[in-house]
A and B are shown apart, each in its own frame.
Chain A
Amino acid sequence: DGGITQSPKYLFRKEGQNVTLSCEQNLNHDAMYWYRQDPGQGLRLIYYSQIVNDFQKGDIAEGYSVSREKKESFPLTVTSAQKNPTAFYLCASSIAVRAAEEKLFFGSGTQLSVL
């Protein structure tokens, strides 16, 4: 099955801890994204990557970091600097480099909670 796989489904973070959310796609898409979703809210863009070894900050990048060493993988690290990390995190990908004009394919999400 082609698609986007996010893991884990649920993740718990302790105070001062960094945690990493995994996102893998086998769709051969160039562009990948991380969005954050809070209850009753829309999706807010954290980071995006249009090509391997390149990524850009989105609207709410503070307290997060990413890497794009492989086309298939775009992991997101939630650092201790992110003071309100509890949210549903969604990874997505799209075919085109001009990503704003193409539909996104989403993973099933990771729910991050603070202990």
Chain B
Amino acid sequence: GENVGLHLPTLSVQEGDNSIINCAYSNSASDYFIWYKQESGKGPQFIIDIRSNMDKRQGQRVTVLLNKTVKHLSLQIAATQPGDSAVYFCAENGGYALNFGKGTSLLVTP
């Protein structure tokens, strides 16, 4: 089947720095993408989404970039805070439900 994958399984950043989490997808027909944050022992929380007719979307301290040419998605977090430490998942529409990648663990160090 189609895969949604992540380039880096873990990412360590210093507090205050910007974080970039990357995601590759293989289904060129996907037209909806979404990022979730999951803290340990909790359910995923919605961060931001983007449709394929856009290449950039901004939220509060977060930006999602979509490059359809190379089938790449990224999540940028500005001024990373300790509370941002979590696992981040990208997902794409998989026909009848969202198809999730394996996640990147973000660790924010003081």
A residues engaging B (CB < 8 A)? 4, 6, 33, 35, 40-45, 48, 56, 58-59, 90, 92, 99-101, 103-109, 111
Tell me whether B100 and A105 are in contact (CB under 8 A): no
29 CB contacts below 8 A, A to B, read: A6-B43, A40-B102, A40-B103, A41-B103, A42-B4, A42-B89, A42-B100, A42-B101, A42-B102, A43-B100, A45-B94, A48-B97, A59-B1, A90-B43, A92-B43, A100-B96, A100-B98, A101-B31, A101-B32, A103-B34, A103-B46, A104-B44, A104-B46, A104-B98, A106-B43, A108-B43, A109-B41, A109-B42, A109-B43
Contact of B93 with A by CB under 8 A:
yes
Q: Are A90 and B97 in contact (CB under 8 A)?
A: no
B4 proximity list for chain A (CB < 8 A):
42
Q: Tell me the complex Cα distance, A100–B4, Å.
A: 14
A108 closest partner in B (C-beta) = B43
Q: How far is the CB of A19 from chain B (nearest CB, A)?
A: 19
B-side residues, CB < 8 A to A, are 1, 4, 9, 31-32, 34, 36, 41-46, 49, 89, 93-103
Residues of chain B within 8 A (CB-CB) of A59 are: 1
Asked if A58 meets B93 with Cβ closer than 8 Å, knowing A41-B102, A101-B32, A109-B42, the reply is no
Q: A99-B97, A100-B32, A101-B93 are in contact. Are A106 and B44 (CB under 8 A)?
A: yes
Closest-CB distance, A86 to chain B (whole angstroms): 15
